[in-house]
């Protein structure tokens, strides 16, 4: 039978259950009055307002009857109000909200619960109580050495369990639930002060003191669908050739001290080391945008950071970025905790709410609530989205007030807190940040082929027949940077820039080029397929025509054969009646229904004509019939 160990008490709140009237007790005020407390106030106030003792006794009796308490309790309540104030009427029992177990027992129950949640285990509260019952069943065996570590620091718990005492089932539930409420309580961080901000890294703590000290980098897949120049949603294919709706990736770099956006990269390729390198290149170089962007301010954030802070993704620890940091001269640091990237994570949410959600094709971050017809309403191209992001970063975000300092813009804070004027780097020095290297052989007239396009440059004429190395920015594939091919571990020298020979566009991204090539290939397949199906259909029709004409020819031939073979082979009894070949036949039968003549019928007299030659035989009385004609007439 379980019994509660009743030594000291362990309160869930340090302020609850405190006795009134103690020395050093802080004053209390009623900020909110419940109906029950207001009823007590009215009854006690009525007692204090009585004119004489008799009326007071009656008021005390009425208050005791109304509240269901004794008159002694009512007099104690009156005494507390006089000594400590009216707030004492809101104080309940001294042990209300407390566990009637010692602090050791409370901590021991928490330790058992935490042990049950380690290494993939998920022991519930009932399992904790069962564990206590199992321990209590061992009795004196708990004093063995194998239990020494478990009860280290809990001597009272050990003695109670040896004696068969342990908290009840309800008490264990109260202790664990209270512990979980305190542990899972979410408290909003008020934000670090404007000065004295620190960032925790795996190498130590960095205190932010000036601009371009710490740059943060991260990327995300934007929740919007983009279209190509023809208004069709851009699609991508993975390694298994499965069709995937294309959404762009955004790699962002921000200055931690001022909160300004320093640079970004937007593309369809999944964020890797070269995409990060392109974002770094954009951040470190001065930005110049044409009049088509219609910017109200300048994007003046550039330079080289002292520290570059990222999470622990593999692309941030690649060999390519090691070369970039060594070439430019900054230190790489990793976040100690995910919360250290709160600055850059917050702007991703702002981009969704303040920019992307206003356009058709926005999918939202919640997969279960994404619109079903997002592809139908998609309207933005990659270039249009890039322009909108530039305008947002320059005129809105960087031009917005810094949240921790009044009347100070983010861009002004960055400029005012620079230790030195940022160094303007040579673009050739940052070519190491560009995309992957591709090797091509130079053809006639200084031409090379890359991704199905022909590039030409006068700088390549003297390299005809040699291989060169190419670097490119995937945002504009129409221009390539040519370098000599490194040989014997010697670095290649910069040759020059070559441009696409037959391109009509001013700018074309690598993914758009591949998308156009896929579309042309599909259209070619459609044309080829249509010609194939037309050829097959024409063949089938021709076969039907040939079959019909063959049947007609066979029918006509059969008729001709039947006319030739059905002639009688019987020798005529009266060959003198045969019609000469050059004389047409004369059929004397009156109708097809006529029958052969009989001897009973009268025969016409045959009169010899004067024109009849002497050699002409005299016709007999028997009429001659054409046997072929008789056969045709179904005789």
Cβ–Cβ under 8 Å, residues 87 and 77: no
Segment 264-281 shows an average pLDDT of 86
Task: Assign a CATH topology to domain 198-416.
Answer: Nucleotidyltransferase; domain 5 (3.30.420)
In the sheet with 467-473, reading across from the earlier edge strand, the strands are: 438-441, 467-473, 476-484, 494-500, 453-456, 447-450
Least confident interval from 292-306, 377-391, 405-419, 524-538: 524-538
Q: Is the pLDDT of residue 615 over 80?
A: no
Select the more confidently predicted residue: 90 or 387.
Answer: 387
Q: What is the pLDDT of residue 339?
A: 74
- Alpha carbon dihedral 515, 521, 523, 528, in 10-degree steps, equals -170
What are the pLDDT digits (tens) for 133-155? Answer: 999 998 898 999 888 888 989 99
Residue 88, pLDDT score: 80
- Who has greater pLDDT, 319 or 517? 319
pLDDT in tens, 40-83: 889 988 998 998 999 999 999 999 999 999 999 999 989 988 88
Provide the pLDDT for residue 535. Answer: 60
Spatial CA neighbour of 257 closest among 418, 480, 456: 418
Looking at residue 407, its pLDDT comes to: 83
pLDDT at 599 over 80: no
Count H helices, E strands: the chain?
A: 15, 15
pLDDT, mean of residues 182-188:
77
Taking CB atoms within 8 Å and a gap of at least 24, the contacts of 621-629 are 622/574, 622/597, 623/588, 623/597, 624/572, 624/574, 624/577, 624/578, 625/589, 625/596, 626/585, 626/587, 627/568, 627/570, 628/566, 628/567, 628/568, 629/587
End-to-end CA distance of the chain: 125
pLDDT at 446: 83
Residues 6+ apart with CB under 8 A from 238: 244
Helical axes 169-183 vs 103-115, angle rounded to 10°: 70
Around Cβ 194, how many Cβ atoms within 10 Å? Answer: 15
Q: Quick one: pLDDT at residue 31?
A: 65
d(CA 19, CA 32): 21
pLDDT at residue 532 greater than cutoff 60:
no
For residue 540, name the pLDDT band (cuts at 50, 70, 90): low
- Beta pairing class for 249-255 and 243-245: unpaired
Q: pLDDT class for 215, splitting at 50, 70, 90?
A: very high
Give strand ranges (E) for 380-466. 438-441, 447-450, 453-456
Mean pLDDT calculated for residue range 444-453:
82
- Mean per-residue pLDDT of the chain: 78
* pTM for the predicted model, two decimal places: 0.54
Would you tell me how many other CB atoms lie within 10 Å of the CB of residue 394?
23
Locate 75 and state its tokens. Answer: 């007099």
pLDDT value, residue 606: 45
| Lowest mean pLDDT segment, chosen from 159-163, 277-281, 508-512 | 508-512
Q: According to the CATH classification, is domain 435-508 in 1.10.630.10?
A: no
Each domain of the chain, given as residue ranges in start order, spans: 35-90, 103-183, 198-416, 435-508
Structure confidence at residue 559 as a pLDDT band (50, 70, 90): confident
Residue 191 is predicted with a pLDDT of 60
DSSP state of 207: E
Share of the chain above pLDDT 70, in %: 71
User: Taking a C-beta distance cutoff of 8 angstroms, is the pair 342, 259 a contact?
Assistant: no
């Amino acid at each position: 039978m379980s019994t509660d160990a009743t030594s000291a008490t362990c309160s869930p709140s340090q302020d609850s259950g405190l006795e009134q009237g103690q020395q050093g007790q802080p004053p209390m005020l009623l900020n909110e009055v419940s109906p029950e407390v207001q009823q007590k106030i009215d009854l006690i106030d009525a007692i204090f307002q009585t004119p004489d003792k008799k009326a007071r006794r009656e008021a005390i009796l009425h208050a005791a009857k109304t509240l269901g308490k004794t008159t002694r309790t009512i007099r104690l309540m009156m005494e507390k109000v006089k000594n400590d104030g009216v707030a004492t009427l809101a104080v309940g029992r001294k042990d209300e909200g407390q566990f009637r177990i010692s602090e050791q027992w409370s901590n021991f129950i928490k330790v058992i619960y935490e042990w049950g949640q380690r290494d993939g285990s998920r022991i519930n509260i009932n399992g904790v109580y069962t564990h206590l019952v199992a321990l209590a069943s061992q009795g004196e065996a708990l004093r063995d050495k194998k239990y020494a570590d478990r009860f280290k620091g809990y001597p009272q718990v050990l003695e109670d369990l040896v004696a068969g005492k342990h908290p009840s089932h309800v008490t264990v539930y109260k202790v664990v639930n209270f512990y979980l409420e305190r542990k899972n309580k979410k408290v909003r961080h008020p934000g670090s002060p404007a000065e004295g901000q620190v960032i925790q890294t795996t190498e130590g703590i960095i205190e932010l003191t000036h601009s371009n000290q710490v740059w943060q980098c991260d990327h995300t897949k934007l929740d919007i669908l983009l279209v190509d120049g023809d208004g069709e949603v851009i699609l991508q294919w993975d390694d298994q050739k499965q069709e995937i709706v294309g959404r762009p990736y955004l790699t962002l770099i921000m200055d931690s001290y001022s909160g300004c956006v320093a640079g970004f990269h937007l593309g369809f390729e999944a964020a890797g080391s070269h995409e990060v390198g392109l974002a770094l290149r954009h951040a470190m170089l001065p930005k110049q945008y044409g009049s088509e962007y219609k910017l109200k301010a300048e994007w003046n954030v550039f330079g080289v950071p002292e520290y570059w802070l990222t999470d622990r993704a593999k692309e941030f620890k690649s060999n390519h970025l090691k070369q970039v940091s060594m070439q430019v001269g900054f230190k790489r640091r990793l976040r100690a905790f995910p919360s250290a990237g709160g600055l850059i994570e917050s702007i991703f949410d702002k981009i969704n709410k303040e920019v992307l959600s206003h356009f058709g094709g926005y999918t939202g971050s919640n997969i279960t609530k994404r619109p079903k017809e997002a592809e139908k309403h998609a309207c933005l191209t990659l270039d249009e989205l890039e322009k909108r992001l530039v305008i947002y970063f320059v005129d809105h975000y960087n031009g917005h007030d810094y949240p921790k300092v009044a009347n100070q813009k983010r861009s002004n804070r960055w400029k005012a807190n620079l230790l030195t004027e940022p160094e303007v780097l040579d673009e050739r020095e940052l070519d190491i940040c560009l995309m992957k290297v591709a090797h091509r052989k130079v053809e006639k007239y200084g031409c090379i082929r890359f991704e199905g396009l022909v590039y030409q440059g006068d700088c390549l004429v003297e390299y005809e027949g040699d291989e060169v190395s190419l670097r490119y920015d995937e945002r504009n594939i129409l221009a390539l940077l040519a370098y000599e091919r490194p040989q014997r571990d010697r670095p290649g020298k910069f040759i020059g820039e070559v441009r696409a020979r037959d391109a009509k566009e001013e700018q074309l991204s690598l993914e758009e080029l591949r998308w156009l090539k896929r579309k042309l290939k599909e259209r070619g397949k459609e044309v080829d397929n249509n010609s194939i199906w037309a050829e097959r259909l024409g063949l089938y029709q021709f076969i039907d025509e040939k079959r019909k004409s063959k049947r007609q020819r066979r029918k006509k031939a059969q008729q001709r054969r039947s006319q030739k073979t059905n002639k009688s082979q019987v020798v005529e009894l009266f060959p003198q009646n045969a019609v000469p070949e050059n004389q047409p036949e004369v059929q004397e039968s009156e109708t097809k229904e006529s029958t052969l003549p009989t001897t009973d019928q009268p025969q016409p007299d045959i009169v010899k004509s004067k024109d009849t030659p002497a050699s002409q035989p005299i016709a007999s009385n028997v009429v001659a019939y054409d046997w072929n004609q008789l056969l045709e007439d179904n005789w």
